[in-house]
Amino acid sequence: MRLWDRLTGRKAENPAAELYQAVVARGREPHWYEAGAVPDTVNGRFDMIASVLAMVMLRIEHDAEAAETTARLTECFVEDMDGQLRQIGIGDVVVGKGIGKMMALLGGRIGAYRDALADGAAPSAFSDALLRNLYRGAHPGDAALAHAAEGLRALYDGLAGVSHGDLLAGRLA
């Protein structure tokens, strides 16, 4: 936080806020829940947003500004999840544990998707990672799984051509 912001009591705008809003908007697109059969539940929406966020964070890893952007994007995620937990009635004592669990889930997805999308990974590796992480082990059917896999892979591939500045402005390919 800048000195002026501290003196005036204003909270500085997070430079990754637009990017995070774009991630949430992408994760809430109806096709994930309709054609992709992601459960339209609190957990399902978390899983979808976390999967889109993981694709973006994997893209950011390749930038010189990676550490700063990842930290700011993570701040947005934590602030959003904190608010969501409080909104559904989770108390102060439990919120911290819930955020810790969500961060672990996000980190697990990033690692699983990184490995599954790596050069030389088995063709089924990404679908297998989605079954474990997006669908929590419940097979949604071949067409739904293919929809989610193709959509997330297209996002991942498309992000490669997006500049860091465009990403921060919320442009996700």
pLDDT digits (tens, 9 = 90+) for 44-99: 999 999 999 999 999 999 888 888 899 999 999 988 888 787 787 776 667 777 78
pLDDT in tens, 14-51: 889 999 999 999 999 999 999 999 999 989 999 999 99
Distance, in Å, from the CA atom of 123 to the CA atom of 115, rounded to the nearest integer, reads: 12
Distance, in Å, from the CA atom of 39 to the CA atom of 90, rounded to the nearest integer, reads: 21
For 160, counting Cβ atoms within 10 Å of its Cβ (0-12 exposed, 13-18 middle, 19+ buried), the class is exposed
pLDDT of residue 9: 54
Residue 6 has pLDDT above 60, yes or no: no
What's the one-letter identity of residue 93? V
Q: Is the pTM value of this prediction over 0.85?
A: yes
pLDDT of residue 10: 52
Q: What is the DSSP letter of 141?
A: -
Distance, in Å, from the CA atom of 151 to the CA atom of 16, rounded to the nearest integer, reads: 23
The 10 Å Cβ neighbour count of residue 142 is 9
pLDDT of residue 99: 81
Domain ranges of the chain: 14-168
pLDDT of residue 96: 75
Distance, in Å, from the CA atom of 144 to the CA atom of 141, rounded to the nearest integer, reads: 6
pLDDT of residue 133: 96
pLDDT in tens, 108-158: 999 999 999 999 999 899 999 999 999 999 999 999 999 999 999 999 999
pLDDT of residue 102: 86
- 140 SS3 class: coil
Residue 1 has pLDDT above 80, yes or no: no
